Structure 1
Amino acid sequence: MRRTILKSLLAAPVAAAFPSVWAQAAKIEKPKLTIAVGGKNLFYYLPLSIAERQGYFKAEGLDVEIPDFAGGSKALQALIGGSADVVSGAYEHTINMQAKNQSIQEFVLQGRAPQIVLAVSNRNMPNYQSIADLKGKKIGVSAPGSSTSMMATYVLSKAGLKATDVSFVGVGTSSGALSAVKSGQVDAIANLDPVITMLERDKLIKVISDTRTLKDTQAVYGGPMPAACLYAPTKFLNENPNTAQALANAMVRALRWLQKTGPSDLVKTVPEAYLLGDRSLYLDAWLRVKEAMSPDGIMPDAGPATALKMLQTFDAEIASKKIDLSKTFTNAFAKKAAAKYV
């Protein structure tokens, strides 16, 4: 009895000092989990890295492992295969998976613009005139089936070309993408910053379609286009609501940090490898895409419909299916997190 009383007395000051952490730690259903990502160094996934580097996951009582894959489609495969619990990836995958009768839901948005750029190689296509010139060419993407290949396919389809009219080549999102263009391995590339800004600086590419700003995204897609997000099987969210809320809290806190932080703090926070050897270029690229970050993690009202319309343009399977967009996302977790971290 005395031991029990003593333990209670010793624990009391700790619980009093950290009431929110103490309470939340008791609620987390799955404190140790894996978030798969495809191209962690990209600004597209920057909020994920900030949440990790700033210790926001740990502050929510989570022990998170983040394996990095060559592209978003590979991260999705990890989720479907059971080696990941959650994915930091493109929202479009939730629609694709519903068409395949698998229920996947977005629950906190990272980006409100895709940031993907389609550009042609000045070396291989110096006389480029129009999208039609890409027929029969090789287009480098992060990975076939990823958001970069979907964006390129959409741009091609608007010009009357099909995905089968070109060859998509997986080049990753870092040094592999840079070398693919420099060596002439690809004729065009669909990729993101900081890779694109580095290729532009060296005058290696000509941009032909850009979604790094809200204005450019509106011009390409005709509406707001949701981008990176955290998504998971609906079953996971239903069985682990407190875990999902903790993840949303950490991500929204990272988004708030990005809204307020200065350039010098950003470069101090991200890993040195993200800078690709050029700090000033990294910051220049950041200024180009900063407005693409979601300010609060909440899915915009018209976003899902824009994504569906885009996919229906070139994906016959999705065009033939009745997609229930309300089942591809939930704002419940993000809204609660946004209220917590104002």
Structure 2
Amino acid sequence: MKNIKLLLICSAVSVLILSACSSQKTTSIKIAEVTRSLFYAPQYVAIEKGFFKEEGLDVELQTTWGGDKTMTALLSDGADVALVGSETSIYVYGQNSKDYAINFAQLTQTDGTFLVAKEPKPDFQWEDLKDSTFLGQRKGGMPQMVGEFVLKKHGIDPHHDLNLKQNIDFANIPGAFVSGDAEYVQLFEPTASTFEKEGKGHIIASFGEESGHVPYTVYMTKQSFMKNNEKAVESFTRAVYKAQQWVENNSAEAIASVIQPYFEDTDLEMLTSSIDRYKSQGSFATDPILDEKEWNNLKNIMDEAGELPVDAAYDELVNTKFAEEVIKE
């Protein structure tokens, strides 16, 4: 008789546990990332370490390969959240969109490109670039705008002092540099370090160190989604913050080991050195807050490049409420 009672009690407890588990709803979030880059290491850490799952979020990650495609996915509801440069939110706002994108969590806070030369330049000075053939990035994109900003800071007019080439698609820039006549190029990691290891190029300067803090890559969502899904946006921001803190407090090698599944063609040693380069120059934001100084720096860079369509107010396109809440916790 005692065994029967015990069996009944265990059965009842099991039912209660299963019922409690089934009552915990999981929210699906579709993320569109502008490209696949180890520059976004904290995002992959958040997925692989289960930080999104801890917050009751089931994230689906898609790579949309370009700012225009990423924003199209967001605005057409092909994605709930976009990871892309903040400049894209200003472009959309400048088109008088009724349901424009709001920046709510910053992931990277510097430019992620490096100046790579075909030949070794042990005594490099920025003025050495004058009259050279320079393979630039897409017009209107953050890499190109930051590049121009840095060049101008060093007294170089990119459109008059250089033979500037901007007609190559982002994915084809590395190959075009190797096979073409360009003497200099802007490259992200791990491509820059890979080229250096293979003798195809030499890293001689960092655009991230030269340009200062800027909201280079940020999570954004439409006004309507934010209004109707505040809890999900807060949970998303909390997961991002957990990942940022984990990246800040762990070694480049540990980070590389976690995110290696996203970069199967890059060996662990190269991933580690590339991540270490980004960590050492403070590229990964340590919290999700996009502050007004960074926003103004972004607008200044866009204005210098002649790409600022409207003087977008910080309070209009940035919402730090969720970031501030999760940091307080």
Q: 2:240 aligns with which of 242, 248, 251?
A: 251
Are 2:204 and 1:233 equivalent residues in the alignment? no
Q: How many residues align?
A: 307
1:20-169 map, 5 Å: 25=25, 31-40=27-36, 42-102=37-97, 103-122=100-119, 130-134=128-132, 137=133, 139=135, 141=137, 145-155=140-150, 159-162=156-159, 166-168=164-166, 169=168
Cα deviation 1:247-303 (Å, max 9, x = unaligned): 111111111111122344323311345264432222112111112211121223411
For residues 313 and 140 of structure 1, do their structure 2 counterparts lie closer, same or farther at Cα, with a shift above 3 Å needed? closer
What TM-score, normalized to structure 1?
0.77
- Percent of residue pairs bearing the same amino acid type: 18
For residues 285 and 316 of structure 1, do their structure 2 counterparts lie closer, same or farther at Cα, with a shift above 3 Å needed? closer
Aligned twin of 2:296: 305
Is the partner of 2:131 in helix, strand or coil? helix
Is the partner of 2:59 in helix, strand or coil? strand
Is the partner of 1:292 in helix, strand or coil? coil
Q: Distance in 2 between matches of 1:335 and 1:22?
A: 29
Q: Give 2:170's aligned amino acid.
A: V
For residues 140 and 68 of structure 1, do their structure 2 counterparts lie closer, same or farther at Cα, with a shift above 3 Å needed? farther
Are 2:188 and 1:189 equivalent residues in the alignment? no
Is the partner of 1:48 in helix, strand or coil? helix
Q: Who wins on radius of gyration, i.e. which is larger? A: 2
Q: Distance in 2 between matches of 1:121 and 1:202?
A: 12
1:311-326 map, 5 Å: 311-315=302-306, 317-318=308-309, 321-326=310-315
Are 2:241 and 1:242 equivalent residues in the alignment? no
Cα deviation 1:153-199 (Å, max 9, x = unaligned): 43455522349973321132xxx554333222755432311111222
Is the partner of 1:283 in helix, strand or coil? helix
Unaligned runs of 5+ in 1: 1-6
Give 1:225 shift: 1.6
Does 266-275 or 252-261 show the bigger shift? 266-275
Aligned twin of 1:205: 201
Is the partner of 2:104 in helix, strand or coil? strand
Contact 1:72/1:147 (<8 A) preserved? no
Aligned twin of 1:3: none
What TM-score, normalized to structure 2?
0.80
Aligned twin of 1:337: 326
Unaligned runs of 5+ in 2: 1-10, 121-125
Is the partner of 2:105 in helix, strand or coil? strand
Give 1:45 shift: 1.1
Contact 1:94/1:104 (<8 A) preserved? yes
Contact 1:224/1:300 (<8 A) preserved? no
